[in-house]
Each structure stands twice: as C-alpha cells, then as structure tokens.
Amino acid sequence: MRNHLGRLIALLMLMAPWTMSAQQVTPWTDTGFNGLSIQFNQVSPTRCAWEFRNDSLRTLEVFTFRIEDFNAETRVPEHSVSLIPTPLLSGQEFGGTSAFSANAKCRSVKLIVTNIQWK
C-alpha cells in the first residue's frame, strides 16, 4: 500500500511565503510528506532557489516535482519538471542555486509533487 501511495500524484503544492523580499531565506518548513522539509531563498530580485532536507529516519528514494512560476524578466508563466537525482538519506539536504532555481520571485514559485517514494 505504501508503494502505491508514493506513486500517486500528490495534491499538495509547496509554495514560498508571500512576504519574502530579495536576499531573504525562509525557515525550514515541513512539506507534509513524512519528514521532507523545504527552504526557499530569494537570491536576487529576480532569482529564487530552494532546497529540500530529509528530516525523517527513512531514505527518500524517488522525488519528482513540477515547477510553475511567473518569469520575473519576461513576465510569462513557465512550467518545468525536476527531481532529486539520487536517494536522500536521513539528515541530508539537496538543492540550492546550483540545483533548483527559477528566474522568478519566490512568491510566484509553486512546486507540485508528482512522485515521492520512501524506503
């Protein structure tokens, strides 16, 4: 049953707080997915980055998500997909500017989980 639930498209959208301004980092926030936390960072007025942290005792085997944002320069909605490329062990973090970022203000970034599997 647990594997089947992990394969379902998650309905929760992870959104950055609306009160962020440039150069601000949000606190780690639980996503509601069994110990997965997220943190957003407005690294410039037009660039948002985020990272994930595994706060559970299990390994996050698979994690894919869709990114929806509003491009800060072209002012056009954009959509893409991404993933954590390797399993994320308990206590590990992955992301940041080099891995996950959008040319957008953090308040416009929506992450929609499409697959999550724990081991």
DSSP 18-83: TT--TT-BPPPEE-SSSSEEEEEEEEETTEEEEEEEE-SSS-EEEEEEEEEEEBTTT--EEEEEEE
The pLDDT tens digits for 11-21 are: 445 665 544 44
Does 2-118 carry CATH code 2.20.28?
A: no
Quote the CA–CA distance of 100 and 4 in Å, as a whole number. 27
Give the residue-averaged pLDDT of 84-98: 96
Does residue 65 surpass a pLDDT of 90?
yes
Quote the CA–CA distance of 113 and 66 in Å, as a whole number. 6
The pLDDT tens digits for 28-54 are: 999 999 899 999 999 999 999 999 999
Q: What's residue 88's pLDDT?
A: 98
